[in-house]
A = this chain, B = another copy of it.
């Protein structure tokens, strides 16, 4: 099996608010920590934090610098390794371009969603593509989910993490952890 070529993008614009309006959401500190720790655990190459808002770029860069260059890293070197995976991007396109320049070919962009009912890629199918060395960028939304134009701009849609009785209202932190485990955990871990 090749080393997986995986990136994760956390989209803050364009996303929807509870009324379905397209907005830019604020970056959440704990999303960065939890998703970066899961990304580092499963060998993810980069965690892209996508927002066009300049003040959000400065905020995230100051958080990341605290842990990678400042006192946080001395206090907790394991957290430093995780937060070092974060890269800011202005859009999903910028994240795709960064992965393309890293791997020499554009990644397969795979949107995630809690909604069912659309034709979606199965976990087994995507896991096999990753194992064959296909670069993949997993795309996660924030707030009430990504705007339709983000889904239209992705190559594939991944099947939702479905629960019991149709309830699947996981946080993006939990959903990202579960999806990375399904796609990247060694098979023996699940037996």
A residues whose Cβ falls under 8 Å from a Cβ of B: 30, 33-34, 37-38, 40-43, 78-79, 81-82, 122-124, 159, 161-165, 167-171, 173-178, 181-182, 184-186, 189-191
Contact residues in B for A186 (Cβ distance below 8 Å):
162
Given contact pairs A30-B30, A38-B174, A174-B38, A181 touches B169 in the complex (Cβ within 8 A):
no
Q: Which residue of B lies closest to A79 (CB)?
A: B169
Q: How far is the CA of A183 from the CA of B161 in the complex (A)?
A: 14
Please give me the residue from chain B that is nearest to A174 by CB atom: B177
Given contacts A78-B169, A123-B189, A191-B122, contact A181 B161 (CB under 8 A): yes
User: Could you tell me if B124 and A191 are in contact, using CB atoms closer than 8 angstroms?
Assistant: yes
* Copies held by the complex: 2
23 contacts between A and B (CB under 8 A): A37-B171, A38-B170, A40-B167, A40-B169, A41-B164, A41-B167, A42-B164, A43-B164, A43-B165, A78-B167, A81-B167, A123-B189, A123-B190, A159-B189, A161-B185, A173-B174, A173-B177, A174-B174, A174-B177, A178-B181, A181-B181, A182-B190, A190-B190
Nearest 8 CB-CB pairs, A to B? A41-B163, A43-B164, A174-B177, A124-B191, A178-B181, A78-B169, A34-B171, A177-B177
* Contact partner, A170, options B41, B164, B165, B171, Cβ 8 Å: B41
- Measured between beta carbons, the chain B residues less than 8 angstroms from A38 are 170, 174
List B contacts of A185 (CB < 8 A).
161
Smallest CB–CB gap between A31 and chain B, Å? 10
Residues of B within 8 A of A30 (CB): 30
How many whole Å from A10's CB to the nearest CB in chain B?
14
Shortest Cβ distance from residue A88 to the other chain B in the assembled complex, whole angstroms:
22
Alpha-carbon separation in the docked complex, A124 to B34 (Å): 26
Q: Return the chain B residue nearest A124 by Cβ.
A: B191
Other CB < 8 Å A-B pairs besides A33-B171, A40-B167, 7 of them? Answer: A42-B164, A78-B167, A81-B167, A82-B169, A124-B190, A174-B174, A175-B177
